[in-house]
């Protein structure tokens, strides 16, 4: 079993690390102080994304993407996840279900999104529909040759910079006819309700949008009527794996900073790393991170190159998200503790990561929902997806 990265994969990870260190990290203080970037910084960062080939890393070359497999996308996101302020969201990664569009839809939405000329946001969640997506109350009904969409969507990440949405709605109010519609933001009836403030500093916003009698054509149905849940599930799977990647990257940075700080900081005549109470915290951080990262790499390798089928990837992505986000939560909590009062100051990356990593246990399915997925898989197919190994029978 050769677990070494290929030269190509190692180079991709190194380039991603350089992009994070040279482009994203220098923007952290500005993002924190101004709750986002100035238009000048945002424009410069966008140009850097294009210059360094960091756009659309998850889409095919023929659609304007970089053509990387999920293992490579994970390696890149792990490095970008080191940045605070969710600056990792600057390099746009158009939602994966857009690849299911027709050629005309790809020309109108996906390809311009890969090029950075358009930007998407995915709108599923509502006031009454969170973990239980079947409770979505946004409806689409037929009116002549158009669809009319009514509803309200919450927490629409990057909705402020997006110019079109993937709207998860129920045709005729029927959850069995869940459908994803491509809705241009400038369509009459699309309305910004409000832009709430959140715990973290995020380079973009998560606004609430209303859809009041929004008319769209058949050419704005992504996939088939009734295929919405499957498309949204594909989005969840990719996002869950990428949360795994970014939380591992963020926690790695926290461990590096904490180890260096503990070696440098002196109290009672010693470096604090010499106190077992501190050293054991670092030891737990390192060991748990190693376990999470090993799992992340194994699952992504299996998904990209090991022949895992869609069901297995769905099952394993939940375990990745659960373990990596919960591990990162424990790691960052200890990092703040090791930094003492400094760990509570917003000019410290560990403080910012402490606030930012909290949502990773909530969005794209809470930790409880990941456990529900894992438990369902155990009940349906047994433990093999979790206890087996690629290439073995058991
Ligand atoms: C910053 C941020 C950005 C987001 N971005 C987006 C986005 O871009 N697009 C989008 O569509 N959504 C987005 N979301 C929404 C996010 O995915 C939901 O908040 C999340 O899925 C949880 O739904 P909820 O908030 O309604 O909580 P609820 O579903 O109401 O859950 C409340 C609590 O009950 C628990 N619970 C619920 N059901 C069960 C169960 N069966 N068993 C055990 N426990 C259960 C949950 O785990 C949780 O602890 C975002 C949220 C945040 C905070």
Which of 10, 219, 3, 182 is closest to 98 using CA atoms? Answer: 182
Which of 89, 152, 165, 362 best tests ligand 1's pocket when mutated (most atoms within 8 Å of CB)? 362
User: Is the CB of residue 275 below 6 angstroms from any atom belonging to ligand 1?
Assistant: no
| Ligand 1, atom 29: closest residue by C-alpha | 131
User: Is the CB of residue 127 below 6 angstroms from any atom belonging to ligand 1?
Assistant: no
- Please tell me the predicted confidence (pLDDT) of residue 2: 87
Cα–Cα distance between 360 and 244 in angstroms, integer? 9
CA atoms within 13 A on the CB side of 45: 24
Residues classed as catalytic = 364
Average pLDDT rounded to a whole number, residues 310-323: 96
Which of 125, 122, 146 is closest to 136 using CA atoms? Answer: 125
CA-206 nearest atom, ligand 1 = 3
Which of 77, 106, 72, 105 is closest to 93 using CA atoms? Answer: 77
Q: Please state whether the predicted TM-score (pTM) of the whole model is above 0.95.
A: yes
Tokens encoding 109: 């939405």
Mean residue pLDDT across the chain:
97
- What are the φ and ψ backbone dihedral angles of 244, each rounded to 5 degrees? -55, -45
- Please tell me the predicted confidence (pLDDT) of residue 393: 66
DSSP state, residue 211: E
Measured on CA atoms in the order 315, 318, 319, 321, is the torsion positive or negative?
Answer: positive
CA 258–ligand 1 middle distance (angstroms):
31
On the 0-12 / 13-18 / 19+ scale of CB atoms within 10 A, 54 is: buried
Q: Is the pLDDT of residue 394 over 60?
A: no
User: Is the CB of residue 368 below 6 angstroms from any atom belonging to ligand 1?
Assistant: yes
- Please tell me the predicted confidence (pLDDT) of residue 392: 82
CA-366 nearest atom, ligand 1 = 47
- Please tell me the predicted confidence (pLDDT) of residue 250: 99
Q: Is the pLDDT of residue 334 over 80?
A: yes
Task: Collect contacts of 300-308 with beta carbons under 8 A, ≥24 apart.
Answer: 300/70, 300/71, 300/74, 300/241, 300/245, 301/71, 301/390, 302/390, 303/70, 303/71, 303/241, 304/69, 304/70, 304/71, 304/72, 305/69, 305/71, 306/390, 306/391, 307/390, 308/390
Per-residue confidence band for 1, with pLDDT thresholds at 50, 70 and 90: confident
| Ligand 1, atom 26: closest residue by C-alpha | 130
């Amino acid at each position: 079993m050769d677990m070494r990265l290929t030269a190509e994969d190692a180079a991709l990870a190194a380039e991603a690390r350089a992009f994070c260190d040279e482009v994203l990290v220098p923007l952290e203080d500005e993002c924190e102080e101004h709750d986002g970037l100035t238009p000048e910084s945002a424009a410069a960062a966008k140009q850097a994304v294009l210059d360094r080939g960091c756009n659309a890393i998850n889409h095919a070359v023929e659609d304007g993407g970089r053509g990387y497999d999920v293992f490579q996308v994970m390696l890149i996101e792990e490095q970008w996840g080191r940045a605070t302020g969710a600056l990792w969201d600057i390099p746009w990664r158009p939602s994966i279900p857009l690849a299911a569009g027709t050629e005309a839809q790809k020309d109108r939405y996906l390809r311009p999104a890969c090029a950075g000329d358009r930007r998407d946001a995915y709108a599923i969640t509502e006031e009454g529909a969170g973990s239980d997506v079947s409770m979505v109350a946004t409806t689409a009904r037929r009116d002549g040759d158009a669809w009319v969409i009514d509803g309200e969507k919450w927490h629409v990440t990057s909705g402020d910079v997006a110019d079109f949405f993937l709207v998860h709605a129920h045709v005729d109010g029927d959850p069995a006819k869940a459908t994803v519609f491509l809705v241009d933001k400038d369509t009459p009836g699309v309305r910004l309700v409000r832009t709430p403030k959140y715990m973290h500093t995020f380079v973009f916003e998560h606004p609430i949008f209303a859809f009041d009698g929004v008319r769209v054509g058949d050419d704005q149905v992504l996939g088939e009527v009734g295929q919405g849940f499957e498309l949204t599930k594909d989005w969840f799977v990719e996002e869950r794996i990428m949360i795994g990647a970014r939380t591992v990257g963020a926690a790695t940075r926290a461990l590096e900073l904490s180890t260096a700080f503990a070696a440098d900081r002196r109290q009672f005549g010693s470096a604090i790393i010499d106190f077992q109470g501190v050293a054991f915290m670092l030891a737990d951080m390192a060991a748990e991170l190693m376990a999470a990262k090993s799992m992340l790499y194994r699952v992504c390798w299996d998904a990209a190159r090991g022949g895992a089928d869609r069901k297995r990837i769905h099952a394993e992505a939940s375990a990745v998200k659960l373990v990596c986000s919960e591990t990162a939560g424990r790691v960052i909590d200890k990092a703040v503790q090791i930094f003492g009062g400094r760990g509570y100051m917003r000019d410290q990356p560990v403080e910012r990561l402490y606030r930012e990593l909290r949502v990773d246990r909530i969005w794209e399915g809470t930790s409880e929902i990941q456990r529900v997925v894992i438990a369902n898989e155990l009940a349906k197919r047994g433990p093999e997806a979790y206890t087996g190994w690629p290439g073995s029978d058991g």
